[in-house]
Amino acid sequence: MKQYPVVIIGGGMAGASLALSLANIGIENAVFEAFAPESNAQPGFDDRTVALSAASLNILKRLGLEKDLYSVAAPIKNIHVSDQGHCGFARIDASECGVPALGAVIENWQLGQALNQAISKQSLIDYYAPAKVVDIEQAEQYATLRIELSNATQEVKAGLVVLADGARSPLRQQLHIDAQVNDFRKSAVVCNLTTQLPHQHCAYERFTQDGPLALLPLTKNRMGLVWSKPTKEAQLLVELDEAKFSKQLEEAFGARLGKITKVGSRKSFPLIQLKAESLFRGRCVLIGNAAQSLHPIAGQGFNLGLRDVAALTEILTSVKEVAEDSGQPLAQQLGDYQVLRQYQESRQADREQTLWVTESLARLFSNPWLPLSVSRNMLLKTMDVAPVAKGVFASQAMGFGFNNSRMASHEE
């Protein structure tokens, strides 16, 4: 029976990032991914866009992906936040924060391609796809996984099992880890588009009565749209012809970028917020969307998951050093109760803060009650002119709020 120090279930953005991160510190691992890479069916690597915070860019740089992402990621140099029908707005400029960029935007498939190429060059990573983990049995010193491959069923032993299999993780349910789920009863309409005027590397967040609308700068003067609407309305937007869709979008967003000149294929995705009540059970630990799934309003979903990766990597680095000094078996130490408890505690403040901010913004800026509308308009005005408030907002947007990860910092 094949044995690994770490097995990662799910080869999406979080799982692939962790595999690379562990290999970089000398920990052998195996990734079991449900979809074959050539099928382009991995839902995490579709045409959607992801806004990478400055902290996330630092983490990806440490994974060795800086050169791969440089030519395809568009830097975010400004953030503009506004509320439809009100004059208040807030702006953040990278130069005011003393950084070259507040973050960057990349299409999911491009990031997936960079991750998979890096994994293929790593001798410490075994990648199995398509592969489905159907059962996990846990013992005191290891876990045994039963895996269905395309032509056989096999068993694998691991000292630590990482669940990175998404928000609907069946294995999280099998482990009896409960999750708090908040169904917003809305969907996000996503597509890439081109505007009449150049975006000048500005990311826009516009709050409307039905939900937030984000336009994110991409390369070649394209933009990625994430538009939250009640589910039925979202589906209608997907079905509209390009001219009618563009007209509705222009009415909601305004004329800052002129006319919408081209719209790519549109899709909609249901919006939920999910929070696993525990990040580990036995020798199994959760990262990414398996641990928490967020409303896209602040663009923090993958960024939060990548900070899971950084925190777990740093803790396992220390475990590896202790095991090498003491001569103890590494695999057994990686899944130790105290180790995984330390990981859970290290993620608590960042998770709680990010989930609270995300849910609060989603509710605050979708409530049409007049006194609340006036209050949030004043909040935006204050944020735009008050250095302290703007600094807090900028720190959160760049991923440095309650995150104390060394991998995410600017330190070399």
Give the pLDDT score at 46.
Answer: 66
Pairing of strands 131-138, 29-32: unpaired
Please tell me the class of the 2-73+103-181+272-381 domain.
alpha beta
**Helix 387-397 crosses helix 370-385 at what angle (to 10 degrees)?**
90
pLDDT tens-place string over residues 267-313: 999 999 999 999 999 999 999 999 999 988 766 889 999 999 999 99
What is the domain partition of the chain in residue ranges?
2-73+103-181+272-381
pLDDT for residue 408: 84
Beta-sheet strands, E only, within 67-119: 74-76, 78-83, 89-93, 103-107
Q: What is the pLDDT of residue 47?
A: 74
Residues 5, 161: Cα–Cα separation, whole Å? 9
Q: Give the model's pLDDT for residue 45.
A: 54
Q: How far apart are CA 85 and CA 323, in angstroms?
A: 60
pLDDT tens, the chain, 412 aa long: 899 999 999 999 999 999 999 999 999 999 999 988 765 555 555 678 999 999 999 999 999 999 888 889 999 999 998 877 666 678 889 988 888 999 999 999 999 999 999 999 999 999 999 999 999 999 999 999 999 998 889 999 999 999 999 999 999 999 999 999 989 899 999 999 999 999 999 999 988 888 889 999 998 889 999 999 999 999 999 999 999 999 999 999 998 999 999 999 999 999 999 999 999 999 999 999 999 999 887 668 899 999 999 999 999 999 999 999 888 889 999 999 999 999 999 999 999 988 988 887 776 666 555 555 556 666 665 555 556 556 666 777 788 776 667 898 866 5
Q: What are the φ and ψ backbone dihedral angles of 252, each rounded to 5 degrees?
A: -80, -40
The pLDDT assigned to 357 comes to: 82
Phi and psi based region of residue 73 (left: phi greater than 0; alpha: psi -120 to 50; beta: remaining)? beta
